[in-house]
Amino acid sequence: MIRSLRDRKSTPWANGLGSTTELVGLDEEVPGIDRDGRRWKLSVADLEQPADFSPLPGLQRTFVPVGASVSLEVDGRLHRVDDCVPLRFDGGATTVLVTLDAPCNAVNLMAERAELDLQVAASAADAPGAFALIALTDSERVSRFDLLVPGGDLSDEDLPESLGALVV
């Protein structure tokens, strides 16, 4: 494990209608992760009520709700996004969280280059090429939203049943 969500500071959204915790900053160097010149950030948002998203022009955004299904309106088009299903869209798009089945979280990847994306994988073995993993459930040694590096000292038995994989 290289980062635990519980050790990171949560910050309120600009509109005050939610909060987010950054696991990796846009230009932050993280031991064990090779950025290879790529600019991206990874965060976990607390979704409690409908709200506008902050625009992020110049970035591609991948949004994965965790714990409930939601509806997002992106540039006027409504998308039903099921629990643990990624939705990718232009970060500069006008985006609104329209409905949520229950308060939940969302893992967000914001990247300058389109080749980075979030995928949900059942295990580290199902995410070849991943350079970071995010636990979506708890296990004995890993907590939900811990940031992990493949090939570390954790075995598949130590990992939760569901992982989010940040892949190249």
DSSP for 90-142, written as a single string = ETTS-EEEEEESSSEEEEEEEESSTT-EEEEESSGGGSTTEEEEEESS--SS-
- pTM, rounded to two decimals: 0.87
Sequential pLDDT tens for the chain (168 residues): 678 888 999 999 877 888 999 998 888 877 777 777 778 889 999 999 999 998 889 999 999 999 999 999 999 999 999 999 999 999 999 999 999 999 999 999 998 877 777 888 777 777 777 778 888 888 888 888 998 877 666 666 666 666 666 554
Domain ranges of the chain: 5-167
CATH number of the structural domain 5-167: 2.60.120.10
Separation between Cα atoms, residue 75 and residue 109, nearest integer Å? 19
How is the beta sheet containing 147-148 ordered, strand by strand?
Answer: 117-121, 163-167, 130-135, 147-148
Q: How far is CA 145 from CA 140, 142, 154, in A?
A: 14, 9, 15
